[in-house]
Amino acid sequence: MRGLLARRMKFHLLGAFLVSVGSAALYKFGVAEPRKRAYEDFYRNYDPMKDFEAMKAAGVLESAPPN
């Protein structure tokens, strides 16, 4: 029983470190990178004036009445 806590602590600290690094990597490549790619794809073809005219025509904007 001597040294049991120290031995188990090393094992659990190493396991916790590996799980946390794995989780961070999964989040980065599974969520963050695809999200960045989706934003890039959206803004690559985005025309703010066209969007403004569509919202204006729909009556969404109170300061710019529809024509």
* Domain chopping of the chain, boundaries: 4-58
Residues 6 or more apart in contact with residue 67 via CB below 8 angstroms: 56, 57
1 pLDDT higher than 90:
no
User: pTM for the full model?
Assistant: 0.66
Q: If you write DSSP's letter for every residue of 32-52 in order, what string do you get?
A: IHHHHHHHHHHHHS--HHHHH
What tokens were used for 58?
A: 């729909």
Average pLDDT across the chain, whole number: 93
32 pLDDT higher than 90:
yes
The answer to whether domain 4-58 has CATH 4.10.93.10 is yes
How much is the pLDDT for 18? 98
DSSP 3-state of 62: coil
Confidence of residue 61 (pLDDT cuts 50, 70, 90): confident
Rounded to whole angstroms, how far apart are CA atoms 55 and 45? 18
